[in-house]
Amino acid sequence: MARTRGAKKDILAAADPSLPPSRVIPRPGEGETIDWASWFDLARPVEADIGCGMGRFLLARAAANPDVQYLGLELESARVVHVDVAARRAGLDNLRLLQGDAMLSLPLLPDGFLRAATVFFPDPWPKRRHWKRRLVQAPFIDAVHRVLAPGGLLHLATDQATYFESMLALLGADARFARAETLVRPPEQWTDFERLFRAKGETIGEASFRRL
Ligand SMILES: C[S@@+](CC[C@H](N)C(=O)[O-])C[C@H]1O[C@@H](n2cnc3c(N)ncnc32)[C@H](O)[C@@H]1O
């Protein structure tokens, strides 16, 4: 119920005319494309947070790096509204959002558009029979590979040991990527889920890969 109340408050706040314009990029219609130059300065780097959730990492990261532009991809529209309202209240001009399934959103990005992509604590699907629903699988890696610029980084984190093993196996066997230094983030850039896992002392798998 608290979540529903929060979502209603966010929807009301999103319509507040005293806030700066929405950072949500409308999804294009069938056969249409996004005019990326109207949303980003294409001369500056863009980084995407895939499955940004309530945006704690994305908002903190955007505030800490005003010269970098950030794109949050998120399936749940209530979460997108929440992050949008927070970004507008914080006056963050370097953050944009696109709602929808990342597997449908990534194909809308131009080749080599991103300097980095983060996938932090994707839905875990812990039961073996549900592993096929996990986001980080071969088609996702292909999609990320296309949108990363050469030298671009893919940062991954999960609390699920079997998911982490499969990420390492998938990317370790992919000649298009090389292992890179793991991204070190200050605690204010920990995600919402990460805070819960760290508070419980759970093991977190983190790894980064460079697109060759
Ligand atoms: C477990 S939450 C983690 C959120 C955030 N990264 C964090 O660590 O707090 C996973 C998020 O990914 C989103 N998600 C799941 N499948 C997705 C997909 N196919 N495309 C985009 N977002 C997705 C969910 O709606 C949810 O917000």
All domains of the chain in start order, with CATH = 2-15+44-211 (3.40.50.150)
Q: In which band, very low, low, confident or very high, does the pLDDT at 28 lie, cut at 50, 70 and 90?
A: very high
For residue 142, which amino acid is it?
Answer: D
pTM: 0.96
Sign of CA dihedral 193, 194, 197, 198: negative
CA-closest residue to ligand 1 atom 18: 101
User: Mean pLDDT for the chain?
Assistant: 96
Per residue in 31-53, pLDDT (tens digit) is 999 999 999 999 999 999 999 99
In the block, tokens 């890969």 appear at 209
Q: What is the pLDDT of residue 1?
A: 43
67 is catalytic: no
Sequence-ordered strand ranges (E) for 57-128: 69-74, 95-99, 114-120
The residue annotated as part of the active site, out of 41, 123, 159, 174, is 123
Indicate which atom in ligand 1 lies nearest the CA of residue 192: 9
Ligand 1 contacts (CB < 6 A) are: 51-53, 73-76, 79, 101-103, 120-123, 135, 191-194
